[in-house]
Structure 1
Amino acid sequence: MSAYQDLLAFQRETEALQQVSGRLGWDQETVMPRGAAAQRGEEMAAMEGVLHARRTDPRVGDWLAGIDDAALDTVAAAQMRHIRRAHDRATRVPARLSAELARVTSLAQGAWAEARAADDFQRFAPILAEVIRLRQEEGAALAEGTDYTPYDAMIQDYEPGASAAFLENLFGALRPRLVSLREKLLGAPTPKGLSGTFDVAQQLALSETIAKAFGYDLARGRIDRAVHPFSSGSGQDVRITTRTDAENPFDCVYSTIHEVGHACYEQNIHSDFLLTPLGAGVSMGVHESQSRIYENQIGRSRAFCEYLYRQMRDRFGDIGVDSADAFYAAVNTVHRDYIRTEADEVQYNLHVLIRFDLERQLISGDLPVADLEQAWNERFEADFGYPVNKPSNGCLQDVHWSVGLFGYFPTYTLGNVYAGSLHEALLRDVPQLDEQLMRGDTSGATGWLRENVQQHGGLYEPRELITLACGKAPSEAPLLDYLEAKFGAIYGV
């Protein structure tokens, strides 16, 4: 087992360096001075160069060759599965390309933020084209000699084992019932919303209370503000960001709950897996299942809204609705909007499908970057029935493409599918769930998720993990049944 022990010791240092690199990204999104962008790009490129050298170190291949797989237990075999997969992918990508991607995406992130603030897509288009060119080169290198397309190869970074064809079939099964439900709901009277101005300091105080209620350990984390909320880190340092709007406190509350779902997944992974390949969420689809079930099936449930309504009244006084039932309806209003992260549960996945289709065309070269804004606007109007009014509400709203995350967007909808299946199993196994949530006690739900999903980290493959947790393979049916029952009752349709 000497080769195994030597490899894990080497990998532990690599994992630690990856955490340091991630902290640079967190800093860039939260407190880095604006004038530091160019230097940060060089720093990120230098870190990626070090990491790439470690991932492709010839000793890794030698160690892997010297390990007898038949002698490994379940945990060791899973460690080797992850290391072999990462090593194979890393050795396919030239060090030059890896470092250049890190440098350009760091610069592109700043360019995206400036273009978004100015509502000017053309300011972002040139560097986006460069990001896409580099990712196309990387995708081709990863796909060479396999059955994958370059886009399929990119998906493996976020959801191992998935493919564009698989996702297209899944999304095709979702779309008809989602569109039908959306049309029924938008044709019904809209519930009354909140009114008033909501003090930002109180919103942040509430977000901390809610984060703790969902089990987020602030001794190993922190909450900051950013343009685009995110979670960063794993193990003993897991940080989240949220955002505030004095006119819309739900943005802060539910951005926080969503990111806490991601963060709790990372904090709750078994401590034996710290700084190993098993010490992080197994895929972005599974990760998103945690953030979405925290945010939606738990956080937007009638029972939890009973608790949240009391919290809101205590902090803000008159909020424009006078009962927990009215508050629940306001939380779950289906409305016209442009922003994916603010979309209701019914329409959210329709936003994702736009991105899935467009990014495949960008990577294949069928859609030039110069035509992206027009293609987005035409697709959005066709799907949602009204035009995009400005780029920050259209193709500039998400940070993902600026940092090269092609193949990431479909995992959001896959995560919703996983969340639907997990929720069905949760209701089966925790019959007192609603009584607990009405008191603001999420421990029944979060404890079940910790036990059945989160503690395992990367021990199982994504669909295997969800199947073990649910007792059956995940499918789109539980999510669709849940949406139709919930919103049908709220809207009386």
Structure 2
Amino acid sequence: MSAFDDLLAFQRQTEALSSVAERLGWDQETVMPRGATEQRSEEMAAMESVLHERRTDPRIGEWLDQAEPEDTEDQRVLDLIARDFRRASRIPARLAMELARQTSLSQGLWAEARANDAPQDFLPVLNDILMLKREEASALADGGDLYDALLDDYEPGATQAEIAALFDAMRPRLVALREDVLGADHQPQALSGDFPQETQLWLARTCATAYGYDWTRGRMDIAVHPFSSGRWQDSRITTRVVETDPFNCIYSTIHEVGHSSYELGIDPDYAFTPLGRGVSMGAHESQSRIYENQIGRGRAFTGWLYQRMSDAFDGLSVPDAEAFYGTVNRVTPGFIRTEADEVQYNLHIMLRFDLERDLIAGRLDVEDLVEAWDARFLKDFGVAVDRPANGVLQDVHWAVGLFGYFPTYALGNVYAGCLNQALRSAVPGLDRFLAAGDAAPAVEWLRENMQRHGGLYPPRELIERAIGGEISEAPLLDYLEDKFTGIYRL
């Protein structure tokens, strides 16, 4: 065997073990007994120890030096393995294990603190995680910016300076649009009623099926914080249920179907290689957000959903499909990011981006985080946070060490805006299919132009190839202004 073949065979086992570790995480958040938290943390630490040893194996460096790629695809595989090898080699095994152990433990502590509105029960362990993430960032940055080193895990090549500039460009138009719609004379009607869990889950499954979700390679479970997990032939989704708000369940499900469909749509020849997964979290979020918003919250699909929900719940408080379209897209000053409307969603991300940058840089201490969050939320949204579960405790990300992840949600929205523009141009009759509950033409275009490539191209190149042009925030902002000007009759 050649050095390239030896390297690929070794990487195949590493990828398989990484998938097993991911499945342990899925199990912990869905069906694991609550009393098993400490055991699972040791299991996760042990798995991370094995994976870290493989990722830093000196033979990888030797194989990389000797490997001779036959084409650009081989070269991309080598580039991705080399990148992971360099990054893993900078992190001590002790640190990798401790991060795995602490973030596994903290998930349960976060969930309990959130349920009890008790940040004091969670902040000490969050501080421990923050110290570990700062240590990790220092090891990875090699004298460079700490936050950029963490961000590179989720959006390779991006920098906080670029993202801050993007947010500065987006914020004025988003704030102006929010003020216009909140002050409009016409306000869409809220949905009221009681919506039983089993019916919500049936509707969620119906929507997932409308998007072509492959139930032979996936499943749906309930979690505190919805997520998707897995790749290749096994990619699972989760959702959550609030019996007074069926949109929470339905659109969380559609969002996670977007993530899962990306993984299931990758060329099967890339399985167990670095090409066999989504290339970045921004690219991933572009799929979940376009599934959820531009497709799922559009007039055509909500017209189909209105009839399904009316039948399932024996009528709705909203009188017709057009009113329902407005109801689905209501802009309200709510607390929860995952429930936020399209106008305000990115403002939620900007808040988290600034706070986590300050945490990593040492400009903000964990003990002051609740106060800082509440003050910033009041400033940005004009509403005082009523309880910690609606504030600093609402997201799981920091509990599991995902510092640098949040800005990829907004990048995903920008990418989705560009993709939607290209999709509508390529499939001009799309709404006719969506009105019949058939998202296949949209999904097929996204799979062909983006999903199937997996990690073959760097993130920006992947999106630019799909859209046939340069990435810009303008398509997203233009789409939002056009959509909400119509809904609010501005």
TM-score (norm 1): 0.98
Report the Cα distance in structure 1 between the residues aligned to 2:14 and 2:415, rounded to whole angstroms.
30
Q: Does 1:143 align with 2:141?
A: yes
Name the amino acid aligned to 2:153: D
Report the Cα distance in structure 1 between the residues aligned to 2:203 and 2:122, rounded to whole angstroms.
36
2:367 to 362, 366, 370: 370
Alignment of 1:96-245 (within 5 A): 96-145=94-143, 148-188=144-184, 189-245=186-242
Report the Cα distance in structure 2 between the residues aligned to 1:473 and 1:407, rounded to whole angstroms.
24
Report the Cα distance in structure 1 between the residues aligned to 2:130 and 2:454, rounded to whole angstroms.
31
Report the Cα distance in structure 1 between the residues aligned to 2:263 and 2:209, rounded to whole angstroms.
15
Displacement, 1:268? 0.5
Displacement, 1:193? 1.8
Name the amino acid aligned to 1:93: I
Q: Which residue of structure 2 lines up, in the alignment, with residue 317 of structure 1? A: 314
Report the Cα distance in structure 2 between the residues aligned to 1:190 and 1:262, rounded to whole angstroms.
32
Name the amino acid aligned to 1:174: M
Aligned-partner SS, 1:218: coil
Displacement, 1:212? 1.0
Displacement, 1:132? 0.3
Name the amino acid aligned to 1:235: W
Report the Cα distance in structure 1 between the residues aligned to 2:265 and 2:466, rounded to whole angstroms.
16
Report the Cα distance in structure 2 between the residues aligned to 1:62 and 1:255, rounded to whole angstroms.
45
C-alpha distance after superposition, 1:213-233 (max 9, x if no partner) = 101101001000011000000
Report the Cα distance in structure 2 between the residues aligned to 1:250 and 1:258, rounded to whole angstroms.
12
Aligned-partner SS, 1:45: helix
Displacement, 1:67? 1.5
Q: Does 1:256 align with 2:253?
A: yes
Q: Which residue of structure 1 lines up, in the alignment, with residue 286 of structure 2? A: 289
Name the amino acid aligned to 1:483: L
TM-score (norm 2): 0.99
Q: Which residue of structure 2 lines up, in the alignment, with residue 459 of structure 1? A: 456
Aligned-partner SS, 1:276: coil
Q: Which residue of structure 1 lines up, in the alignment, with residue 338 of structure 2? A: 341
Q: Which residue of structure 2 lines up, in the alignment, with residue 49 of structure 1? A: 49
Alignment of 1:71-86 (within 5 A): 71-86=69-84
Report the Cα distance in structure 2 between the residues aligned to 1:489 and 1:208, rounded to whole angstroms.
30
Displacement, 1:72? 2.9
Q: Which residue of structure 2 lines up, in the alignment, with residue 486 of structure 1? A: 483
Report the Cα distance in structure 2 between the residues aligned to 1:15 and 1:216, rounded to whole angstroms.
24
Report the Cα distance in structure 2 between the residues aligned to 1:178 and 1:190, rounded to whole angstroms.
18
1:267 to 255, 260, 264: 264
Displacement, 1:318? 1.4
Q: Which residue of structure 2 lines up, in the alignment, with residue 308 of structure 1? A: 305
Aligned-partner SS, 1:333: coil
Report the Cα distance in structure 2 between the residues aligned to 1:57 and 1:438, rounded to whole angstroms.
53
Report the Cα distance in structure 1 between the residues aligned to 2:350 and 2:119, rounded to whole angstroms.
21
Displacement, 1:195? 2.1
Name the amino acid aligned to 1:127: V
Aligned-partner SS, 2:419: helix
Alignment of 1:386-405 (within 5 A): 386-405=383-402
C-alpha distance after superposition, 1:309-332 (max 9, x if no partner) = 111111112111121101100000
Name the amino acid aligned to 2:45: A
Report the Cα distance in structure 2 between the residues aligned to 1:310 and 1:72, rounded to whole angstroms.
54
1:361 to 358, 361, 382: 358
Name the amino acid aligned to 1:426: L
Report the Cα distance in structure 1 between the residues aligned to 2:47 and 2:187, rounded to whole angstroms.
51
Aligned-partner SS, 2:236: strand
Higher mean alpha-carbon deviation, 15-24 vs 71-80, is at 71-80
Displacement, 1:305? 0.8
Aligned-partner SS, 1:104: helix
Report the Cα distance in structure 1 between the residues aligned to 2:76 and 2:486, rounded to whole angstroms.
44
Q: Which residue of structure 2 lines up, in the alignment, with residue 6 of structure 1? A: 6
Aligned-partner SS, 1:217: coil
Name the amino acid aligned to 1:33: P
Name the amino acid aligned to 1:163: T
Aligned-partner SS, 2:226: coil
Aligned-partner SS, 2:287: helix
Q: Any stretches of 5+ residues in structure 2 without a counterpart?
A: none
Report the Cα distance in structure 2 between the residues aligned to 1:203 and 1:109, rounded to whole angstroms.
26
Report the Cα distance in structure 2 between the residues aligned to 1:403 and 1:424, rounded to whole angstroms.
35
Q: Does 1:329 align with 2:297?
A: no
Name the amino acid aligned to 2:152: Q
Report the Cα distance in structure 2 between the residues aligned to 1:333 and 1:217, rounded to whole angstroms.
31
Report the Cα distance in structure 2 between the residues aligned to 1:247 and 1:82, rounded to whole angstroms.
46
Displacement, 1:386? 1.2
Name the amino acid aligned to 2:172: P
Displacement, 1:74? 1.8
Displacement, 1:245? 1.2
CA RMSD of aligned residues (A): 0.8
Displacement, 1:75? 1.3
Q: Which residue of structure 2 lines up, in the alignment, with residue 423 of structure 1? A: 420
Name the amino acid aligned to 1:30: T
Report the Cα distance in structure 2 between the residues aligned to 1:434 and 1:345, rounded to whole angstroms.
20
Report the Cα distance in structure 1 between the residues aligned to 2:422 and 2:358, rounded to whole angstroms.
37
Report the Cα distance in structure 2 between the residues aligned to 1:280 and 1:50, rounded to whole angstroms.
21
Name the amino acid aligned to 2:63: W
Aligned-partner SS, 1:86: helix
1:472 to 469, 473, 478: 469
Report the Cα distance in structure 1 between the residues aligned to 2:358 and 2:209, rounded to whole angstroms.
42
Once superposed, which parts of structure 1, at least 4 consecutive aligned residues long, lie more than 4 Å away?
none
